[in-house]
Each structure stands twice: as C-alpha cells, then as structure tokens.
Chains A and B, each alone.
Chain A
Amino acid sequence: MCRIGSIKSKKYIHPSKVLKLMRSQQKGHDNSGFAFIMQDLGGIFENYKDLPILSMAVTDEGMKYAEDLLHKIGFVRVFQYNLEVCPDSSLKIETMPNYVFEVFQYPKNYKNSSLEEKENLLLDTRLKLRKHLEQNEEGFVYSFYPDVISLKEIGDPNDIGTYFNLWSEEVNLRAKIITAQCRQNTNYDIVRYAAHPFFLQGYTTLTNGENTFYEKNKLMQQKLHRGYIGFESDSQCFLYTLHYVHKILKWPLKYYKHVLTPLSYEEIQKRDNKNVLERIKVSLQNLEINGPNTTIGVLPDGTMFNVIDSKKLRPTVVCKDGDIVVMTSEVTGANEILPTRDISKDIYTNERELVVVDNDLNIQRIAQ
C-alpha cells in the first residue's frame, strides 16, 4: 500500500523534511521508490515564480530533443539546475542519466496571452515531449508549469535521498508545499510515471488504496480532456477528476467530494440542494470511486485538502504545529516531524467530509 504525505508550511522548507516524514512510514519489504512535487518554490527558484519549469529525467538524447523542441516552439531557457548526484554502488536505486529542472521564458508571441493560453501551450508541449521520449525510451517528463518541480525515482527511499543528497540542506531546494510518496507501483509494473504525486496544470494529488472503479473512471476521463493520459496508476483518476471538477467545470472544491463519493439517492432526497446533488451524481456517475482510497490534493492557489472513500475508510491524519500542517496516511510520519504538537487536535478525516487547509494554515472541515 502506498504511504503518502504532504507538508504545507508558511515558511520555505527543504525536501529532507518529507524524507523524514515518509521514512518512518516505510512498511515491510515495500521500499520501492520515492517521488515528490514541490510547489510555491523558494531557494534557487524563488526568483522565477511566474516562469514555467520543466522537470524531467532523461538520457542525453532525450535532453537534446527537449531543448530542440522547446527552442523551436520559442521558449527561451533562463535557468537550468541539474541535480547533483552521489553515486555509490551500495545504493539501491535505478537511475537515469540526467535529472533536470529548467526554467523557461515563454515564447515572445505569448507575451500578452492569458494564463489559460499559456497553460495550454505548456500542456501541449509537455504532451508532445512525453510522447517522443516514451516512444524512444529517452526519459520521463513529469511537469512543465510555473513554480513547480517534480522528481520520481525507483529504489529505496533512503537511498534515493542519499543519491540526490537531499538529506542535506546544502542543496538549496525550498518550497512551501511538498507532497511525497515513498513507494513505487509495486503491485504492477514499476514505471516512473505510475508514482504519485501526479500533477496537471497546478493540481496535484496523491492517493493510496485501490480504485475499484478505475475502469469506469478511465473510460470516462480519456474522452474529457487531452491532458488525461497515461493511467499507469489507478490513482491518476483522482487527479483528473479534480482537474475536471475544479478547473474545467469551475465548481467549488467541496463538490469534488460529491463527485468521488456521492451521497446515496435516499440521502440526497433529504437535502435542500437535492436537485444539484442528483444532477451531479448521475452526470458524473462514471467518475465515482468506491474505495478504498485516501487522497491528498493541492490546488493551484496552494490550498491543500484531504478526502477519503465513504465505505472502507482509508485513514489520513491532518496535524498542525505552528507554521506547519502535515497530512499523511500514517501518523508515525507526523510524529517524526511534528513531535511536540497537540495530538488531541489531530484530525482523522471521516467518510463524509473534506478537510481543507488554506494558505494561512486554517483548517476547515467541510461536511458533505
């Protein structure tokens, strides 16, 4: 089972924090990977808030293709950061030749374009790049979006941290939101793309469990938006549903819960807004999930939330201490990095609520 965790902080934090968060959650033999996404960046990326950052792990050929493609489209590179690695034959890790974070200036003809137009350009570019890299086995592109970097690798999470020197705060990577998972897709093929967190246009999700309605979700989603691709993990469906509900349909976040785990027909009849709820239930019946799952998500504005299935109750705990909120699937992780918090204020999300953390770290429990 995937262990997932996220940290939202008022101050910039280092990825070693999520390594610590996830280390204590390792379970048995399954230490098969580590992946994280950093949003609202500080450190070396702090001065490039509005510019898209390409995160990828590629061969030299893949790197060259990516540079040529972006150059051809009109992107101008303004900053590149290659992760320094510390190779050691004792480390359990499957590596790629290059791990790259590149910051680009938008093409000139996008100078006056809207955010939406820019987002579309970034998405189309990433999809094109991904398709080529996949076909030629030249690498993986995880995100291409402003103020976001991503890294996913196969191996022991401790060793992955060591390989990228992430245990040390010398590496000046900082962010106010970091989401992470310490496992690969162990039950199926080990594929880098299958590792959480998943990211699309400012939206991030991590999910554990088994999406028993994966087939329904997938068949529906792949017709809804060109960005809904891959499906290497049944948990990607949670990202696409979030993106669809919040960004495409522009519905308030609380309706994400109504789409994932709609109330029963009988319960809906008792609600004042029954017409709306019934419409949502039938129109998006194919995006329903039936658990067991817990999902941690991040919105483009930095809001972090948690929602769980309504039947099998996969746990997540939401903990706060001072300027940090942690959401994680095992409380041991929270104990590791917030040992002095008041545990009586920990929240275990229930089956009929959405727990939301805003940028001031106010925690709101929204009953379904």
Chain B
Amino acid sequence: MTTVNINSISKDDLPWIIEYESDKCQLCGRCVAACSFGAIKVDVQKRKKVQAISNEEGFQIDEAQKAIPVIRQVIDANNFCRGCGICTKVCPNNAINVTRNRTEIFGTRYRAKTAQSVKRGGRSNLHTEGRTLDKIKVGRISQMTDPSLDATRHTFDLRTNLGRVVSADNLDFDVENGELKEKQNESLPVNTSIYPIMFSDMSIGALSPRMWEAIAIATAYLNEVKNIPIRMATGEGGIPDKLLRSKYLKYMILQIASGHFGWNRIINSMPYMIENPAGILIKIGQGAKPGDGGLLMAEKNVKLIQEIRGVPKADLLSPPNHQGLYSIEESVQKMFLSMNCAFRFKVPVAIKVAASSTSVSVYNNLLRDPYNIVGGFFIDGLQGGTGAAHEISLNHTGHPIVSKLRDCYLAAVHQGKQGQIPIFAGGGVGMNGNLAADTFKMICLGASGVFVGKLILQIAGCVGNDFGKCNGCNTGKCPIGITTQNPKLMQRLDVDRVAENIVNYITATDIELKKLLAPVGNSTLPVGRSDALVCVDKNVAERLNIQYVC
C-alpha cells in the first residue's frame, strides 16, 4: 500500500470537479477533443467484473479484471478544469458535467506549489458590494404635468459628444447680418457626435483576430446600415494596415497605452490614411487591474500579433505607467499635444484612467487645461473585465465606478464646466445584461456615454461568468475562440454570426434606451439629469445625491 501523498494537488483541491457517468458515455471522444484546457483525458479504469454464468451444473461465478476506457479529470496546477462546460455542451449523452468546488482552496494550493501569483481573465469574482446600479430606478415618470413621449413614434436624438467643449463665451463668434459666423483662422477643439455607447478597448492579442474582426464588422454595420454611430476602441497594440488605410478607420478610436505597441505601424500608415480615426485614447490605467500595465502572455503572442505590434515572441508586459510622464500637466503638454498635432487637431484625444480615489483631482486638473486639448475622460471601474491579470488585482484593487463618475461630474459642476470634457464611464456597465438601463442611469448621473467590453464577449458566446466559471482568457485556450490565438480554437467562432449578434444586441439596446427616455419625457440624452433617478438604498442615495425612496 502506498503512502498517501498529502502535499500533492488532488481532485478535491481543484476549482471545478468533473462529474462523469461512464454508463452513459459512448466513448465518442468529443469532450476530450473540445476541452481546450486539456483538463480531461481518456484513460482506462481497472474494473473487476463479476458475473454468474449458468451451465449444466447450475451456475458458475466468473471473475474478470477488465480495463474500461473512461474520461478522467486531469489533476494538475496548470491544466485544470476552468468550468467552461464545453464538455457538457458537446456530450451527446449528458454523461459529463462540471460543478463548482465550494472549498475555494485551489488558489492556496496553486501559490504553494508554483510560487506564482494566480492569473486569469474576466472580472472580479468577489461579490461583496451588491450592484449599485440595480438599486437605482428611473423614478421620475412624466405624469399629467408633462406628457411622456411615445418611444415608438417620437424621434430621439441619441447622440453625445466626444471632444473638448469650450464654454460659450470662448466661442467668440462674429455677428454678420444677424448671423453668427465662425471667426476665420480660429481653431477651436474638434467635437464629434457619436452614440453614447462605445465598444471598449480590447486589443488584437487579448482577443482573437476573428473576435476583433467581428466587433469591427458590427461597428461598421451599425454605422453604415443601422445609422447608429457607435465607435470601437482598438485596445493597445495597433490594428491591421488594411483597416488603417480604409474608410472604416473613422469608426475606430486608436489607443496608445504604456507599451506603445503598434504605433510604429500606425505612424507609418498615416500618410496613407484616407480618413481620420474617431479618436485617440491615451490609456493610463484600466479598472480591472488599476496600477498595472497590459499583460499579453507569450502563449498568445503569435506571429500575427508579433507583426502588428512589431515585437518578438515573449510575454508582453506594458509598464504600469507611461514612462517619461511625471505629472498631469506634463501629460497634457507631451502626449495630448503631440497626439493632437499628429492628427492636425482634427481628432479628439481622450484619456482613460482607472477609477481611483484620486480621479477627481485628475479630472479637475484636466478641466483647467488652458489649451483645451483633452477631448474626453474615460473612467474605468473595478468591475471591468480584462484578458489577463493577477487575480489579486482583479479581486482586491480598484474603485467602483458609479460614485466616482458622480464625483467627477459634480466636480465639473463645481467648476461650472460640466460637459466640457465629456466623461465616459465603464467597468461593469451591462454586466447584468441590461446595457440600456445601466447606460441610462450612468448618463443621468453625469456620463456623456459609457464603454462596454466584457458584455460584447458574452454576446459573442463567452461562457465565463463572475463566479469563477472559465476566466481562462489569459491562457490562450479560450474554448469559444474569443481570447485565443490558437488557429483551431479560433475556428470555433463564427465571425458573421457574432457580428450579427452584436448588431442585434445594440439595436435592441437602442430601442430600450428610448423606452427609458420616453417615460421621463426626454428626446435627447439627459446627461446629469439625476432628478430622473431614485434609489432604494439610503446610503447610495445620499452618496450620489439622488432621492431615496422606499
């Protein structure tokens, strides 16, 4: 008898337990083939088979040792089951299933065994706060004194502004024959009207090229066919030359993050661009892992990515901050100015920061920028998703987005500059699937718009959730083909279907937004109209300065 090896990882240490019923299994092998994490394998099981055989003398007991083929869970610190459930999906006989192991010991075992921090993708898996946005209702309904609108028949102007807005007294128009005229040679910052929902910055690299392409196709379709001027942020790492030189560039917001990946290609393409991009987004931080730079594991850094980014095969770790920037003022002078210059002041240049206790001071400072070149303030809350991060960052760092958005908006009100640097908020927006409701509430609290990422992946078929399911985006083994660079796994994603689903979802969201605008009697976006909201939680109501109701 062998000694029990107490210190090895055992099956009941793993985060997900495979439940397998061999009597139902027809041994087709689909589950093993489909499991991208290598978390199950075909094995044999020694079985003692006892049977009674009748003969002329009565009966005889036959005992045989047999090797039965079975499916077995791999017990390994790297190839462990993430609970994605693909095996269940493909099993024709319902012979295999996964269940969450409630012991939650795996992280401890993993660290003890590997001396590594736990990494994964997805969102925070800690649920300590309850969801603020769900405690807020659209409570100011037009009744009698003010007729509600008809969501179906009225026209609505669902556009917001991206770009630095100057105060009216700085517009300095000339009056000629009773008409206002823009002064010649007067250069005011660029403003662009866009849809108040934006596809968040997810890079080619974090996403498979097919997933990224599906979002880009959906973006183009929504703009060109559905008349919904939605914009897509590219994420760090650049985009293909072909897109840079196409007319569709006008729907893309190019990101420059601390690694500056992809910008060599962007700069080289500039002479050939036939359209300006929709914006430039300087990424300082992201809500899912604030204070941490981008992380693309070598497993995902395949040839295509290496080409786009101009890098060798290696882990790509963007620094936590932009090297060479030491202050807000300096960032304005260096990055904002150079980006504005590069695109001849025709493209709004915005900044994305992780929500933090310090966000208001950053925003206050930017509002006072005398050059008027900060075109947008993107704040990302702690419930944002990511392709790869240390779990400790995901679960234990960050700042909720709702109060931070409100604080920033009210700081602008205090300066009398609300709307001058439009605030776009993200990080958990739409995480319960109700993008329209979340968007509307955030707008009423002061956002000019929202950005959304993880939800788009879920629309594409992402099986992960915020209760530990899958979250394997960092591994490059996404079973759906969304966050992988593996050519075989990528093939699982039907680009056209995904694009269609995204278009459908946004179309439905557009209808639902109108269903919220109509009862409060507004045909344009109620940015900062917090009196339209009420809150069933007294503390939240007090914090956000909205009406408490019960």
Contact = CB atoms under 8 A, between A and B. Distances in A.
Contact of A252 (B165, B180, B188): B180
Contacts of B524: 288, 290
A220 B188 contact: no
A251 B180 contact: yes
Nearest to A258: B180
A209 interface: yes
Given A223-B416, A264-B159, A290 B180 contact: no
A310 B530 CA distance: 22
Nearest to B413: A219
A265 B193 contact: yes
Contact of B169 (A249, A266, A273): A249
B418 A215 contact: no
Interface string B157-196: 1010101011111010101001111100000100101000
Given A1-B145, A223-B416, A283-B166, A212 B180 contact: no
Interface string B138-160: 00001001110100001101010
Given A187-B145, A255-B180, A265-B157, A283 B527 contact: no
Contacts of B146: 209-210, 212, 291-292, 312
Contacts of A251: 173, 175, 180
Interface string A252-268: 10110000000011100
A215 B531 contact: yes
B521 A219 contact: no
A276 B168 CA distance: 11
A213 interface: yes
Contacts of A249: 168-169, 171
Interface in A202-234: 209-210, 212-216, 219-220, 223-224
B168 A285 contact: no
Contacts of A244: 168
A236 B389 CA distance: 52
B416 A278 contact: no
A252 B176 CA distance: 10
B173 A224 contact: no
Interface in B461-476: none
B528 interface: yes
Contacts of B175: 250-252
B182 A276 contact: yes
A120 B485 CA distance: 69
A254 B193 CA distance: 23
Contacts of A265: 157, 159, 193
Interface centre among A244, A249, A266, A311 (most CB of B within 10 A): A311
B46 interface: no
Nearest to B165: A282
Contacts of B165: 282-283, 285
Chain B, interface size category, equals 35 or more
Contacts of A288: 524
A278 B194 CA distance: 13
A288 B531 CA distance: 16
B191 A279 contact: yes
Interface residues of A, number: 42
B159 A216 contact: no
B165 to A, nearest CB: 5
Contacts of B149: 311-312
Contacts of A285: 161, 165, 419, 527
Contacts of B181: 273, 276
Interface in A158-192: 187
A340 B149 CA distance: 38
B105 to A, nearest CB: 51
Contact of A264 (B157, B163, B173, B416): B157
B188 A279 contact: yes
A283 B521 contact: no
Nearest to A224: B416
Nearest to B517: A290
Nearest to B417: A223
A212 B142 contact: yes
A147 B159 CA distance: 45
B529 interface: yes
B424 to A, nearest CB: 15
Nearest to B419: A285
B528 A219 contact: yes
Contacts of A44: none
Given A284-B168, A286-B418, A213 B161 contact: no
A244 B167 CA distance: 12
Interface string B46-63: 000000000000000000
A216 B527 contact: yes
A212 B522 contact: yes
A248 interface: yes
B526 interface: yes
A82 interface: no
B18 interface: no
10 contacts: A212-B146, A215-B529, A215-B530, A215-B531, A223-B415, A252-B178, A273-B181, A276-B181, A283-B167, A286-B528
In the A-B complex, list the 3 residue pairs whose CB atoms are closest, starting with the nearest: A223-B416, A210-B146, A265-B193
Interface of A: 1, 187, 209-210, 212-216, 219-220, 223-224, 244, 248-252, 254-255, 264-266, 273, 275-276, 278-280, 282-286, 288, 290-292, 310-312
Given A216-B528, A279-B173, A312-B146, 7 more contacts: A213-B529, A249-B168, A252-B179, A264-B159, A265-B193, A273-B180, A283-B165
